[in-house]
Structure 1
Amino acid sequence: MTREEDRELLTAAYEAWESEDWPQAGELLERLARRHPDHPRAGVWWYDAALAYKFLRNWAKAYELGREAAARADRDAQDPAFWNLGIAATIMEDWATARDAWRGFGVGLPDGEGEIVEDLGPGLVRLNPTGNGEVVWARRLCPTRARVLNVPTPESGRRFGEIVVHDGAPNGRREVDGRSYPVFDELLLWRESPLPTSVVHVVAADADDVRALVALFEERDYGAEPWSSIEMICTCCSEDSLSHDGDHTVAGDQRVSLAAPVDEIPGLLARWRAAAPQRRSWTDLVTG
């Protein structure tokens, strides 16, 4: 291939990139990088090729080409080549490569082998970002995986306790009780939850009665989500920076989503009502 042909290949690759023709862009950039692996721009070509396959959700190719990109990136400099490799290696369950990628980016992780399961604190994930885009709280297990802590609406297609893989680039922020949290878009479901989502109608005289219901389920590592905590906003606003109160709990007549074994729910609701029968009642349980 002549220099002129190389220039034409490079031009075609980035024309495909600009038009978001990811299959074409990935193929052409990989071809160029493999032809000139020692070129000063080869690291960029490997990275962009891997990114194109990430956009395609072709994780095997994103992993393969991401390793090439990371091999040419500076460690401890927050180079995104390491972050994208960390995501792809996690999905491919190559834990040694994932750990090395996170460390290459500059994330401190303890030594270990096998699946990375840490407690990196709470975070926000947008489930089903190409659909209704529901933002939920989650417990971060590693830089790219999190366990859902809310009970999502049925429309999200997700359940309480599921583990999802999320992207590394924030897409919006939420300020809660004076602290700002980035919102990360879900990439895929990592591990399903065995707990179905049910819905019940409750009447509570006081907000503390609703909190007691939530606490009763949380004690068993189940979930209860009052619909009063759900705020409907447009996609444009969701991807912006918003402020929220930490506690949306209100009293009165409302629905509550429940994540628990179906056969245990009536007994738990009966216990909740029996503690204050003058103030609490429930009806219309629809099990998942």
Structure 2
Amino acid sequence: MRKSEARELIKQAYAAWDAEEWQRAADLYEQVLAHFPDEKPSAEWWYDAALGHKFLRNWDKAYELGVQAAARSPRGEGDPAYWNLGIAATIRRDWTTARDAWAGFGFELPDGEGEINGRFGNACVRLDTDGEREVVWIERLCPTRGRVVNVPVTTGRRYGEIVLHDGQPNGERVVGGTTYPVFDELLLFEPSDLPTFQVTVAAADPADLEALVTLFTDHDFGAEPASSLTMHCACCSEGTLHKEPSAHASGAQRVSLAAPEGEARRLLDQWAGEKAIGRGWSGLEAVG
């Protein structure tokens, strides 16, 4: 291939990219890279080709091309080639490559080998399941994975599952003066075996409901009062939302629980029995 032909193909690739024709753009880049893998601008071409396959959710190709893009990118400077490779390597469970990619981006990782299970703080993830979208809180295990710590209302989603999210925030939540990013989910990385139940509880005082939530979370289970859920339009959800810690209500109300049924019943009985008057529950039913 002559350089003049390569320039024309790159021009076509740019046009395809602008039109969001990811497959065509990636194919054109690869045609050029097969002949000119190490030209001065080739790092950008490798990156764009890999990114196109990321948009297509073709993770094997995103990994293959991402390795080449990262090899031509500076380490320790937050170069996005490392981030995208880290995502693709994580999806393939290639922990050696994922660790090297995150280090290349500039992250400090916990010592060791294999799967990364660190403490990267809290964030939010926008779950997306068959068009149903819900923002939940996660505990981040690595730069791209987090454990869900809400009881989702979305059908088929569960407390404790591990989700893999994108690297570019798409919204913010501000709580107590601290800003948390909202990432978009890329895929469900590990399902949770904790079933979801709903129950009606009677709480004489808001502190009673807080005690119920604390009791379940102390046992590594989940409890989510219906009053803690809020609905937002897409524009608001993808913007900056200022939220105050939810104030629990008193009286009869629905609560979603994540726990094995026997444990849910035991903990509900324990909670109700801690006060002679003012606490009760009924109508435990499985919902997911």
What is the TM-score with the length of structure 2 in the denominator?
A: 0.95
Match of 2:147 in 1: 147
Cα distance per residue 1:226-265 (max 9 Å; x no partner): 1111110011100000100123322222211100002222
CA distance in 1, matches of 2:81, 2:13: 19
Match of 2:271 in 1: 272
Match of 1:209 in 2: 208
Count of aligned pairs between the two proteins: 287
Match of 1:78 in 2: 78
Structure 1 letter corresponding to 2:27: E
CA distance in 2, matches of 1:232, 1:18: 34
Match of 1:115 in 2: 115
Structure 2 letter corresponding to 1:236: C
Secondary structure, in 3 states, of the residue corresponding to 1:23? helix
CA distance in 2, matches of 1:263, 1:274: 16
Q: CA deviation at 1:16?
A: 1.8
Secondary structure, in 3 states, of the residue corresponding to 1:169? coil
Q: CA deviation at 1:130?
A: 7.2
Secondary structure, in 3 states, of the residue corresponding to 2:85? helix
Q: Indicate yes or no: 2:99 matched with 1:99.
A: yes
CA distance in 1, matches of 2:241, 2:213: 25
Q: CA deviation at 1:129?
A: 7.3
Contact 2:124 2:180 in 1 (8 A): yes
Q: CA RMSD in A?
A: 1.5
CA distance in 2, matches of 1:110, 1:258: 32
Contact 2:132 2:154 in 1 (8 A): no
Secondary structure, in 3 states, of the residue corresponding to 1:133? strand
Match of 2:166 in 1: 167
Cα distance per residue 1:159-216 (max 9 Å; x no partner): 1000111111011011001101111111111111000111111221211111111111
Q: CA deviation at 1:9?
A: 1.3
Structure 1 letter corresponding to 2:106: G
Structure 1 letter corresponding to 2:25: A
Structure 2 letter corresponding to 1:269: L
Structure 1 residues 273 and 47: CA distance shift in structure 2, 3 A:
same
Gaps of 5+ in 2: none
Contact 2:225 2:256 in 1 (8 A): yes
Secondary structure, in 3 states, of the residue corresponding to 1:50? helix
What is the TM-score with the length of structure 1 in the denominator?
A: 0.95
Match of 1:225 in 2: 224
